[in-house]
Structures are given as C-alpha cells and as structure tokens.
A and B are shown apart, each in its own frame.
Chain A
Amino acid sequence: MASAPEHAGQAAAEHGSGIHVVLKAEELFSVWGFPITNSLIMTWMVMALMIVFAILFRRQIAMVPGKLQAGIEMLFQGVLDYMAETLESEKLARKFFPLIMTIFLFVLVANELAFLPGVGSILFNDIPFLRPPSADLNMTLALAFISFLTIEITGATVLGFFKYAGKYVNFRSPVDFAVGLIELVSNVGRLISFSFRLFGNVFAGEVMIIVAMFFVAYLAPIPLIAFEVFVGFIQAVVFAMLTLFFIKLAIMEPHGDEAH
C-alpha cells in the first residue's frame, strides 16, 4: 500500500498510450482469498463518508433548523409525501422510506463521487485504485436483489402469500394464466433491468468521458462530465422510484378483484 503512489506514477506513463476500458471491477488484492476489488474500496469510501456525515449531522439537529437541516428535512418530507401519495398509505410510506431513501442517497453519492479527480486515474499495481461502485455489476445486481426481494416479500405479506402467488399462477382462464406467467417472467426480469440499467448508464458514462479525454484532454470532456453528473442523479432517482412503483404494483389487489 505504501508504494502505491510510486507505482501509480510509472503505471500512468504506461497507460497514457491507449484507452483503458475494463468491463468488470478488477481485483486489487485479496484478503484470505476474498477478492478486494476497486469498486468495493470505493463502496466502502462512499459508506464511510455517508455514515460520518450522518454522525456529524445528527449532533446538530435542532428544533429550529439551519440551512443544511432545512434542506435535508425538505428532501425527506418531499420524498415521504410523494411516497404516501404513491402507496396511498402514510404508514407504508414511513415503513419503506428508509429503504427508498438509502437506495437514492447511496446511488447518488456513489455516482457523483465518481467525478472526483483520482477515481480511475490513481493506479495501484497498474489497476485503477477506485472505480465507481455503480460501474460494477456486482453492486448493481446486489441492489437489484435487495429491491427485488423487498418487492416480492412486501407483496406476499401485504396481500397474503396465496393471493400474491395467484397474481402469477392462476387458472381462472387461459388468458389470465398466460398473463400471470408473463408477469412472473417480467418480475424476475426486473433483476436484470434494474442492475443493467444502472451499470450501463454509469459505465457508459465513464467510457464516454475516457474516450473524450483521449481525443481532447481539456475543455471538451466538460459538457460530457456535466451530463454524466445529471445522469448519475437521474439513475439514483430512477432506481429508487422504480422500487417504489414496483412495491405499489406488488401490494395492489390482483386483476379481476378490482373494477377496470
């Protein structure tokens, strides 16, 4: 670890000759056989940053809010109101608020920190030391699994297991049977759409900026970076909102029971 900066200097010279794009997060080193990848390191950094912020922020929460507190409160209140409106239940909104908010904040902070200088450019044994967490399918897939499990478990607990299962497997009519199966497949398909959407957007953004920097190192990448900052925000919103909408879909009464 101590010699990392020297390595970085040499490696940067070697890498300067071409475009270095790797689809997967690379293993920096391993601890007891457990691979430590560059995106894992950055995930820890993002977590540490957010937790430290939360600890510092919690100390100065006051009845009369400062600017920061007012902003955070506005965000929370806005999201909570929107969730209550979508789920049509204040109680459910409060229950799911921590999950939706954590998805949003984590993806947002992870995406935006990717634009810090040094991410991707500091090398460790010829490998970028930091990689945006969302540019690693392991992270987006893990998030997608969490989102997926939350959606399915919520549906099963709110509606009851058999009623919820009846949404996907039923024998009311051949059409309903086919529709149910299609919905089942599309539900599982969310795992892929969730994970690849986030991964694809962030990874493509990274590649685009790298390519632009290869051709014109100064000024030209700036609009792209600005756009990618926006994309990073949008992807955080999309991931959180889709989770919310799918929760709403899961707790809705099955077709046939409601008036169309």
Chain B
Amino acid sequence: MDALLHAFGIDWRLLIAQAVNFGILFVALWLLLYKPVMKTLDERAKKIAQGVHDAERAAEKLAGADTEAAEIVAGADSKASEVVASARETANAEKTRIVKEAEARAESIARDADARAKEAAAKALRDSEKEIARLAVLAAAKVVGEKK
C-alpha cells in the first residue's frame, strides 16, 4: 500500500492542500459568479413574468375599452336618430304652422284687395255720376244761353 501511495506521489499534505484549493475556488466562484448570475436570472424571470402579467392586463383593458367604445357609439347612434326624428317632427309642425299662417295672410290680403277694389269701383261710379250731372247742367246752360 505504501509503495502504491509512493508510486502515485500521494502525500496527505498535498491532498489537503488540493482540497483547500478546491474549497477556495468553490467559495470564490459561488460569491463572485454563481450568486450574481443567479440573481440576474431570477430578476429577469421576475421582470418577464411582470411584463407578461402587465401585457395581459393591458389586453384585458383594451378589450374592455373596445366594448365600451362600441357601447358609446351605439348610444350616440340611437341618440342621433332620436334627435333627427324630433327635429323632423318640429320642422313638420313649423311647416304646417307657416303654411297655415301664410294661407290666412293671403286670404286676408285677397279680401282686403277685394274690398278696396269694390270701394274704388263705387267711388269711380259716384265720381262719374257727378261728372255726368255737371256735364248735363253745362250742356243745359249752353242750350239755354244760345237761345237767349
């Protein structure tokens, strides 16, 4: 056994030294390499999870906004047609009123004109009667004068 150990140069001091070497490397790499890299990996995983979660929520919100927008548009649509209908109704009523008023006015104007025409005719008649009477008097006077 001793010969074997000697042949391979096994020395317990070297064994311990190599074990300690490995221990030092182990601790150093743990603190300097594995820990920071693992931390970064974990942080990134967390960030990605957060990002996915946020994206999901955003998509949900977007879908909500879409239905809300559709609702609003539908509401606006019905309201607009309501407004148009009421406007049409008002316009119709106004139209009827205006037409009626215009008719009434036309009638009154026509009546007025008629009355005035009749009066003018009567006056003309009276005037012409007076003229005729005067002309008759003048004619009579002429006749009488010549005879004189």
Contacts and interface: CB of A to CB of B under 8 A. Distances in A.
Chain A complexes with chain B: yes
Interface of A: 23-26, 34-35, 37, 40, 43-44, 47, 50-51, 54-55, 57-58, 61-63, 65, 69, 72-73, 76-77, 94, 97-99, 101-102, 105-106, 133, 136-139, 141-143, 145-146, 199
A24 B15 CA distance: 13
Contacts of A133: 18
B24 interface: yes
Contact of A146 (B14, B22, B40, B47): B22
A73 B41 contact: yes
B14 to A, nearest CB: 4
List the 6 shortest-distance A-B pairs measured between CB atoms, nearest first: A24-B9, A142-B18, A54-B32, A138-B14, A142-B19, A137-B8
B15 A145 contact: yes
B37 A98 contact: no
B24 A98 contact: no
Given A63-B43, A102-B26, 20 more contacts: A23-B9, A25-B9, A40-B18, A47-B21, A47-B25, A50-B29, A58-B32, A77-B41, A98-B26, A98-B29, A102-B25, A105-B29, A136-B9, A136-B14, A137-B9, A141-B10, A143-B18, A145-B15, A146-B19, A199-B8
Contact of B37 (A55, A76, A99): A76
Given A47-B25, A51-B28, A35 B34 contact: no
Nearest to A22: B9
A197 B18 CA distance: 17
Contacts of A94: 38
Contacts of B11: 35, 138
A54 B7 CA distance: 36
B14 A35 contact: yes
B29 A24 contact: no
27 contacts: A23-B8, A25-B14, A26-B9, A34-B13, A34-B17, A40-B14, A40-B17, A47-B21, A57-B33, A58-B32, A63-B47, A72-B37, A73-B41, A76-B34, A77-B41, A98-B26, A98-B29, A99-B26, A105-B29, A106-B25, A136-B14, A137-B9, A138-B10, A138-B11, A139-B18, A142-B22, A143-B18
Contacts of B36: 58, 61
Of the listed residues B8, B13, B14, B21, the one surrounded by the most CB atoms of chain A closer than 10 A to its CB is: B14
A101 B29 contact: yes
A249 B40 CA distance: 31
Contact of A76 (B10, B32, B41): B41
Given A23-B9, A58-B36, A73-B41, A138 B18 contact: yes
B28 to A, nearest CB: 5
